[in-house]
């Protein structure tokens, strides 16, 4: 049996500075971030869909709203953690899995772009690294 994969993305704007980093990114700066959420699953519902795209975007939007137009270093989640693209991807994944049970087992990957050329990916389940369509 095959696997279905769904992806959607949203954008937000936020400032940050990297902790314990030598270079210009240790200073306050901002990005127009892009977040892509990818879900995978085998079973479709009666409508022939894995999870409604509107529901996926609503869940992602709720989590992203906490980051939008914020200084990320001041958020409790990043009080002692550098708000790098990698840590943002993990935080978004953890928040989605913790808040929305329908996404928990389907969440395959969260990707965070800080610009059009630089992306960090987080796979919450190590076994997903060996899953191939």
Q: Which domain holds residue 31?
A: 4-130
Residue 1 confidence (pLDDT): 74
Point out the catalytic residue in the list 29, 62, 69, 102. Answer: 69
> Per-residue DSSP letters for the chain?
---EEEEEEEEEEEEE--TT--SGGGS-EEEEEEEEEEEEES---TTS-SS-HHHHHHHHHHHHHTTTTEEGGGSGGGSSS---HHHHHHHHHHHHHHH-HHHHTTEEEEEEEEETTEEEEE-SSGGGGG---
Residue 59: active-site member:
no
Active site residue 114: yes
Please give the average pLDDT of every successive group of 10 residues along the chain, which has 133 residues.
94 96 93 98 95 97 98 96 98 97 94 96 76 44
CATH label of the domain that carries residue 98? 3.30.479.10
**What pLDDT, on the 0 to 100 scale, is given for residue 129?**
52
Instruction: Output the pLDDT for position 130.
Output: 53
Q: What is the pTM of this model?
A: 0.92
When divided into structural domains, the chain yields a total of 1
Catalytic residue from among 16, 31, 95, 114: 114
The reported pLDDT for the residue numbered 125 is 85
Predicted confidence at residue 96, as pLDDT, reads 97
| 16 counts as catalytic | no
């Amino acid at each position: 049996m095959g696997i279905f994969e769904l992806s959607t993305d949203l954008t937000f704007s936020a400032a940050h500075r990297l902790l314990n980093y030598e270079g210009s990114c240790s200073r306050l700066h901002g990005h127009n971030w892009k977040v892509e959420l990818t879900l995978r699953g085998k079973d479709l519902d009666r409508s022939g869909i894995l999870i409604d795209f509107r529901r996926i975007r609503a869940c992602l939007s709720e989590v992203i709203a906490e980051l939008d137009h914020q200084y990320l270093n001041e958020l409790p989640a990043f009080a002692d953690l550098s708000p790098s693209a990698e840590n943002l991807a993990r935080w978004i994944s953890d928040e989605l899995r913790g808040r929305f049970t329908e996404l928990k087992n389907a969440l395959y990957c969260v990707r965070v772009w800080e610009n059009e050329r630089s992306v960090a990916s987080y796979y919450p389940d190590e076994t997903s690294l060996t899953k191939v369509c």
